[in-house]
Amino acid sequence: MEGFANRFLIFRGKNRERQNVIWNMVGSAVYALASMVLSFIVMRMAGEDEGGIFGFGFSTYGQQMFIIAYFGIRPFHITDGKQEYTFGDYLGLRIMTCGAAVLMAAIHLGFLTVSGAYSLHKAAVIFLLAGYKVIDGLADVYESEFQRQGSLYLTGKSNTFRTVLSVAVFLGTLRCSGSLTAASLGAVLAQAAGVMLFNVSVMKTGALPDVRFRRQAAAGLRLLKNTALLFLSVFLDFYVFSAAKYAIDRCLTDAVSGYFNILFMPTSVIYLAANFIIRPFLTRLTAYWDQKDWRAFEKVRRRISLVIGGFTLLGVLGALILGRPVLGIMELILGTGYEGKLTAHWGSFVVIILGGGLYAMANLYYYLLVIMRRQGVIFLVYLTAAAAAWLLSPILVSCFQILGAAVCYGILMTVLVLGFWGIQGVLFRKAKERET
């Protein structure tokens, strides 16, 4: 395995910064493509109900369990430039959070099965997909350390090869067996193998000499305390992001859930493209903030905002002009019986694209508040949006179905953008005034 890890590292090249950008782009693109098309492919191969179960389990429930495993630590980890905590500290906490995520999924899905809300088949598939995402959460702690050490290209490589391996096994198993349960189990096993090959073994080669594996005494509890609000914030963030999907799963059918997931697919691309833009600058923004270089900090912040805003505008215009033909092509690819199933929701599709752009912008300002170490403020914004989501989503979805879900998503993303943008602007001005 060590020989494989050395071959995995051999392509890093001389220009680290260029490799970081290229591999981050490739990894983000592959991950986004897989997230975007898998629900579509499953619907075509296994039918609309199975596609709906997979889409909800993979992109909503499984991702919620990923959030528990992830614990909101990554922004804190990669911006810990002074290495207040060792990699061993982060890894120890992540192992505990991954275990908690698996346990919570088992208890919750068991309850839904016993109560009759879910069939045993649906619960089993969703549990396996949750396990897949939890393993993804474990891989993230390694990839966060790669980025903290200035080797973001390793994160991109890991994302690329793990995704390709697990998706290939999933689709191959589904094709051969016709069983969504068997395919989901295959994906879990492939994901575990990918973590061993592309994360654990690479870390053990010593390619990153500054990594400290030793855990510090009492550091775990201190780290848990420092990141608890970030976890609650990220957990609420994903609930806000997915409130419309949860409402559809509760109020409507698996088939409708599948169609909404297809309409929702571009948001994964928008979000990951935004992360591709934002993440390479996070360590630089952290350095500017720590050094109180306000001009450089503001310049980078403004530049990223303009790029995300420009992409959002292009996305909405593209949806307005090309949305109907694209949705029509997707219906043709799905096959007989799907005519009009997607094009009927063209207006909802445009609203979802706009909401995806707003969410990308909200993430920029979220990261800026993390750099400022304002976890309490972040939590308050998410708590406000979560309360709005809890009130609005069931009403809008029950009354207007898919259109109501799209409008709900757009409203909630607007709340996040306005909250984060306004607060980080005030904090930035106050920091400048203190210095002058």
> What does the alpha-carbon distance between residue 224 and residue 158 come to, in Å, rounded to a whole number?
26
Q: So what's the pLDDT on residue 297?
A: 86
Q: What is the mean pLDDT of residues 218-223?
A: 78
pLDDT tens string 251-280: 888 888 889 988 888 887 777 777 777 877
Query: Residue 187 has which token pair?
Result: 């994906």
Residues 2 and 36 grouped into a single domain: yes
Residue 412: band (very low, low, confident or very high) from pLDDT cuts 50, 70, 90: very high
Q: Is residue 11, in this structure, part of any structural domain at all?
A: yes
Residues 166 and 286 grouped into a single domain: no
State the total domains in the chain: 2
Q: What is the mean pLDDT of residues 98-106?
A: 96
> What does the alpha-carbon distance between residue 131 and residue 325 come to, in Å, rounded to a whole number?
37
Q: What is the DSSP letter of 151?
A: -
Residues 152 and 202 grouped into a single domain: yes
Q: So what's the pLDDT on residue 13?
A: 47
The mean of the pLDDT values for the chain is 86
Residues 198 and 171 grouped into a single domain: yes
Q: What is the mean pLDDT of residues 97-122?
A: 94
pLDDT tens string 133-143: 999 999 999 88
Q: So what's the pLDDT on residue 394?
A: 93
Residues 120 and 245 grouped into a single domain: no
Residues 184 and 291 grouped into a single domain: no
Q: What is the mean pLDDT of residues 387-391?
A: 94
Residue 9: how many CB atoms within 10 A of its CB?
A: 16
> What does the alpha-carbon distance between residue 293 and residue 135 come to, in Å, rounded to a whole number?
38
* Cα radius of gyration (the chain): 21
Q: So what's the pLDDT on residue 409?
A: 95
Residues 373 and 278 grouped into a single domain: yes
Residues 186 and 238 grouped into a single domain: no
Q: Which segments of 304-426 are extended strands (E)?
A: none
Domain interval for residue 407: 234-436
Q: Is residue 226, in this structure, part of any structural domain at all?
A: no
Percent of the chain with pLDDT over 70: 93
Query: Which residues lie closer than 8 Å to 303 by C-beta, 6 or more apart?
Result: none
Q: Is residue 160, in this structure, part of any structural domain at all?
A: yes
Q: So what's the pLDDT on residue 124?
A: 96
Q: Is residue 221, in this structure, part of any structural domain at all?
A: no
Q: So what's the pLDDT on residue 216?
A: 72
- Indicate if the pLDDT at residue 374 is higher than 90: no
Q: What is the mean pLDDT of residues 120-147?
A: 93
pLDDT tens string 308-344: 999 899 989 999 999 899 899 888 888 777 888 888 8
> What does the alpha-carbon distance between residue 360 and residue 380 come to, in Å, rounded to a whole number?
19
Q: What is the mean pLDDT of residues 358-381?
A: 87
Residues 113 and 254 grouped into a single domain: no
Residues 177 and 266 grouped into a single domain: no
Buried b (16+ CB within 10 A) or exposed e, 57-95: bbbbbbbbbbbbbbbbbbbbbbbbeeeebbbbbbbbbbe
Residues 19 and 154 grouped into a single domain: yes
Residues 169 and 264 grouped into a single domain: no
Q: Is residue 225, in this structure, part of any structural domain at all?
A: no
pLDDT tens string 290-302: 888 888 888 888 8
